[in-house]
Amino acid sequence: MEDRHDRTRSLLPQGAMEKLAASRVLVAGLGGVGSWAVEALARSGIGQLVLVDYDQISPSNLNRQLYALESTLGQAKCLLARDRIRDINPAIQVQSFHRRLEAGQLADFLTQHGPFDYVVDAIDSLDAKADLLAQAVNLGIPVISSMGMGNRLDPTALCLSDLSKTHTDPLAKRIRQALRAYDLEKIKVVFSKEKPSRPRAPRGLIGSLPTLPPVAGFLMASQVVRDLSLASTGLDLPLDQADEGEDQKGGQVDQDNDRT
């Protein structure tokens, strides 16, 4: 009998699907990046998903976010994500939290709602983002984070790398600075090597396209699936390495808090 995971199982190591089914993954942020990461994780066979987002669907989300439709305007993203996952695979255990993650609360959240096998960070708040990454590392939880996806045009410039190797990304620079307080820098990230554009719009508006944030979400989900499925084999796949460079090569930009 045909199985929903036959095509996935054929590409992963023996026993990988069982490992994925037993894994519990937190996805923080369900916007342009996080919503697509959740989609890929659910379809890849992750058995337990914990979803956190405080926001509701607004008209500005319609150009790039998976759950954004005319029919879902005003509805909570975390509840839309939960219902979609249950429709994809009713066997997935889903917990959704309609709340904002705040710096200083992340250690308690990870402890109370874990244990987690992986954390996917797709949130916008700089302080909460840095604290989530730091607390995940301190608790020994693998984590991957999305850097700035706004004001960029080229999805082929996205890459998986280590935070210490990022460049041309104002948000990544600020995260590196914030994590120095925790004596941390080696974090898996997805970032863009493309220099941010200056949008022809009022100051403070972060431009976005429907073709870029989903790619970032899929890259993050891909790394999670590879890491979890290979964990029991003792093997590892190296991250794609970004070209060497510094933030200064990208110059100074006004919008330095890219929203995902």
- Band of pLDDT at residue 164, cut at 50, 70 and 90: very high
**Sequence-distant (≥ 6) Cβ neighbours of residue 140 within 8 angstroms:** none
**Is the entire prediction scored with pTM above 0.95?**
no
Helix, strand, coil proportions of the chain in percent (round to 5)? 40, 15, 45
Distance CA 72, CA 90 (A): 21
For the segment 198-227, what is each residue's pLDDT rounded down to a tens digit? 877 677 788 899 999 999 999 999 999 999
CA dist 75 to 55, 80, 90, 132, Å?
Answer: 8, 7, 21, 25
Let me know how long the chain is: 260
DSSP letter at 98 equals: -
Residue 184's CB is within 10 A of a number of other CB atoms, namely 19
Q: Is the dihedral of CA 217, 129, 53, 111 positive or negative?
A: positive
For the segment 104-143, what is each residue's pLDDT rounded down to a tens digit? 999 999 999 999 999 999 999 999 999 999 999 999 999 9
**Sequence-distant (≥ 6) Cβ neighbours of residue 160 within 8 angstroms:** 188, 189, 190, 219, 223, 239, 240
The predicted pLDDT at position 186 comes to 85
For the segment 226-259, what is each residue's pLDDT rounded down to a tens digit? 999 988 676 665 665 555 444 444 444 334 445 5
Please give the biggest Cα pair distance in the chain.
57
- Domains of the chain are 19-250 (3.40.50.720)
Which amino acid makes up residue 36? W
Tell me if the bond preceding 155 is cis, omega within 30° of 0.
Answer: no
The predicted pLDDT at position 240 comes to 58
The predicted pLDDT at position 238 comes to 60
For the segment 10-53, what is each residue's pLDDT rounded down to a tens digit? 999 999 999 999 999 999 999 999 999 999 999 999 999 999 99
Distance CA 140, CA 161 (A): 19
The predicted pLDDT at position 246 comes to 46
Residue 17's CB is within 10 A of a number of other CB atoms, namely 19
Residue 167's CB is within 10 A of a number of other CB atoms, namely 19
* pLDDT mean over 137-163: 96
Distance CA 223, CA 40 (A): 11
